Chain A
Amino acid sequence: MDVRSEIIAQFRHVAREQDRRLPPLTDQMELLNSGLDSLCFAIIVTRLETSLGIDPFSTSEDARFPVTLGDFINFYEHAAK
Chain B
Amino acid sequence: MFGREASLSWNDLLRGTVLAGHDNDLCGRSILVATTSQLYAAAILVEFDGVASRIILYPPDLSLDHLGFVADRAGADVIVSDRLSNPLDTVACVSPSNWTRLTRNPDRDVQHETEWVLLTSGTTGRPKLVVHALASLTGAIETGRASGVVWSTFYDIRRYGGLQIFLRAALTGTSLVLSSAQESTADFLVRAASHRVTHISGTPSHWRRALMSSAAHLITPEYVRLSGEIADQTILNQLRAVYPQARIAHAFATTEAGVAFDVNDGQAGFPAGALENTPNVEMKLENRTLRVRSNRTAHCYLGDQHQTLRDGEGFVNTGDVLELREDRYHFVGRGDGMINVGGMKVYPEEVEAVINGHPEVEMSLVHTKKNPITGALVVADVVLKSAPEAACGEVRIDILRHCREALPSHKVPATINFVPALAVADTGKLIRFHA
- Interface positions of B from 364 to 416, Cβ below 8 Å from A: 369-374, 377, 379, 400, 409-410, 414-415
Whether, in the assembled complex, A57 has its beta carbon less than 8 Å from a beta carbon of chain B, the answer is yes
A30 nearest in chain B by CB position: B214
Question: Is A47 within 8 A of B415, CB to CB?
Answer: yes
Question: Is A38 within 8 A of B400, CB to CB?
Answer: no
Question: Is A63 within 8 A of B234, CB to CB?
Answer: yes
Question: Is A38 within 8 A of B209, CB to CB?
Answer: yes
With an 8 Å Cβ cutoff, the count of chain A residues facing the other chain is 26
Question: Is A42 within 8 A of B373, CB to CB?
Answer: yes
B215 nearest in chain A by CB position: A32
Partner of A67, one of B213, B341, B373: B213
Whether, in the assembled complex, A3 has its beta carbon less than 8 Å from a beta carbon of chain B, the answer is no
Question: Is A62 within 8 A of B241, CB to CB?
Answer: yes
Nearest CB of B to A28, in Å: 12
Question: Is B212 within 8 A of A67, CB to CB?
Answer: yes
Query: With the chains together, A32 CA to B372 CA distance in Å?
Result: 16
Query: With the chains together, A33 CA to B373 CA distance in Å?
Result: 17
Given contacts A57-B372, A58-B370, contact A39 B410 (CB under 8 A): yes
Question: Is A64 within 8 A of B342, CB to CB?
Answer: no
Question: Is A39 within 8 A of B409, CB to CB?
Answer: yes
- Interface positions of A from 21 to 58, Cβ below 8 Å from B: 30-33, 37-39, 41-43, 45-47, 50, 55, 57-58
Question: Is A46 within 8 A of B214, CB to CB?
Answer: no
Whether, in the assembled complex, B184 has its beta carbon less than 8 Å from a beta carbon of chain A, the answer is yes
Query: With the chains together, A18 CA to B369 CA distance in Å?
Result: 19
Nearest CB of B to A51, in Å: 11
Contacts of B353 on A, CB cut-off 8 Å? Answer: none
Query: With the chains together, A65 CA to B159 CA distance in Å?
Result: 27
Query: With the chains together, A43 CA to B374 CA distance in Å?
Result: 9
Query: With the chains together, A62 CA to B392 CA distance in Å?
Result: 39
Question: Is A39 within 8 A of B342, CB to CB?
Answer: yes
Question: Is B373 within 8 A of A38, CB to CB?
Answer: yes
Question: Is B369 within 8 A of A64, CB to CB?
Answer: no
Question: Is A61 within 8 A of B371, CB to CB?
Answer: no
Question: Is B208 within 8 A of A45, CB to CB?
Answer: no
Contacts of B237 on A, CB cut-off 8 Å? Answer: 61-62
- B-contacting residues of A (Cβ < 8 Å)? 17-18, 30-33, 37-39, 41-43, 45-47, 50, 55, 57-58, 61-67
Given contacts A37-B209, A61-B237, 20 further A-B contacts (CB under 8 A): A30-B213, A38-B208, A38-B374, A39-B374, A41-B212, A42-B342, A42-B371, A42-B373, A43-B377, A43-B414, A46-B415, A47-B415, A57-B234, A62-B234, A62-B237, A64-B211, A64-B241, A64-B242, A65-B211, A65-B238
Give 22 pairs: A residue, B residue, CB < 8 Å, sorted on A. Answer: A30-B186, A37-B209, A38-B205, A38-B342, A38-B374, A39-B374, A39-B410, A42-B342, A42-B373, A42-B374, A43-B377, A45-B372, A45-B373, A46-B371, A47-B415, A50-B415, A55-B372, A58-B372, A62-B234, A62-B237, A64-B242, A67-B214
